[in-house]
Amino acid sequence: MSSQKTIASGLAGRYATALFELAEQAGSIEKTEEELSALATLLVENDEFANLVMNPVFGKDQQLAACAKISSTLSLSDLVANLLGVLATNRRLVKLGSVIDVFKKIAAANRGEISAEIITAHVLSDKQQASLKASLKKAVGQDVTFETKVDESLLGGLIVKVGSRMIDSSLKSKLENLKVSMKGV
């Protein structure tokens, strides 16, 4: 539980912890995580939903109605639908993305996994992801789940963030370091 407290701090942490405890009691941690992932994808891919969540101009009633429609459309469980309703009622819908991130971290820690963020210059193949997962497990000593993001400005290589550690093996950083060392000569 103490590791859960370090993962879940702040407002988003309180909502995520409460949701996790309810999901654990209901035996639906995995299903809840899947539904939250669907909401996270919707948040990124649907500008109207992102605007509804982020824009304080929308009133509580508008947000509640939209959340009810989204819950129905995505066939969300009562647990996740209620989370949306509570966030909208308390005017905290803007914290949805953070709540989802913290919930995923708590769920991963509960499974004995550690989460990482991988930033690459291009999309990784399934084989590359499997190899990276094995390498990270060997380095960290735990199963690792990760989310990948693409940043073409890296040119090549990748950046791995695991907890408070960051490993930057991107070509962009190497070129910057070379540039700095060349100025010193």
Helix axes 78-89, 60-73, angle to 10 degrees: 170
Same domain, 78 and 64: yes
Q: Say which residues have a Cβ less than 8 Å from residue 148's Cβ, sequence separation at least 6.
A: 118, 119, 120, 123, 124, 129
Which of the listed residues 65, 93, 108 is the one where a domain comes to its end?
108
Going by pLDDT thresholds of 50, 70 and 90, the confidence category of residue 183 is confident
Report pLDDT digits (tens) over 55-94. Answer: 888 888 999 999 999 999 999 999 999 999 999 999 999 9
pTM of the model: 0.70
- Structure confidence at residue 10 (pLDDT): 86
Where among 50, 85, 108 does a domain terminate? 108
Split into its structural domains, the chain has a count of 2
119 in the same domain as 100: no
